Amino acid sequence: MCDRVFIGESAAPTVEPHKVWLFVLANVQVDGQTCKLIQSKRAGGQLDFLEVRGIHKFIAILEHELAHRRHAQAGFLVGRFEPGDSDGDGLLDEWERAHCLDPDDPHTTRVTEEYNDPDGDSDVVAEIEAYARLLQQKEKWKEDWADSGLQKGNPPNPFPWKYLSTGTNQPPAGVALLTAIPECRR
């Protein structure tokens, strides 16, 4: 088996920004019961995200794909509708139950449904891990000398990235954005 990660053209070093979706752990009503589930962070009714460019765009996309590889190697990311995955999002039902996702809904957070993403919750899990790793690389812009990198031309404002909800490079105050996959008991 080849040990490769394919990221395609979406990580090409262009000036176009990339959206890193943000998630929180929230109490949600499911079948008349209150459950803690991973939910998309919203700001004024819109899905909240971190807008990144240049080397941060590349890091976010690469880390997202590397997360998928780690999940497959760990054995909880399987093919869609494989035995043990009743909702077809590629994640084993038992793993979803243990990590605050609904095993009967491939789009627990609604973000993947709103953007017609067939990978559903498996992309949410990868996005949470990619966001955490991206935060560790905030100063990487200093090494971004590509023709369309953050060192060229007018830097984006705010620098080096922007949260939709705050319009700044700072996350929303008082909101616990997920940087790790939570463990839940139901």
Q: What is the pLDDT of residues 147-178, one digit of tens each?
A: 555 555 666 677 789 999 999 999 999 999 99
Here the tokens at position 69 are 């590889």
- Span 95-111, pLDDT tens digits: 999 999 999 998 888 87
Task: Give the long-range contacts of residues 1-9, CB within 8 A, separation 24 or more.
Answer: 5/62, 5/65, 5/66, 5/69, 6/65, 7/61, 7/62, 7/65
Residue whose C-alpha is closest to residue 186's, from 5, 47, 31, 19: 31
Helical (H) or strand (E) element with 38: strand 33-40
Tell me the pLDDT band of 1, cut-offs 50, 70 and 90: very low
User: Tell me, what's the pLDDT at 4?
Assistant: 58
**Nearest CA among 176, 178, 165, 5 for reference residue 108:** 178
Contact between 23 and 41 (Cβ < 8 Å): yes
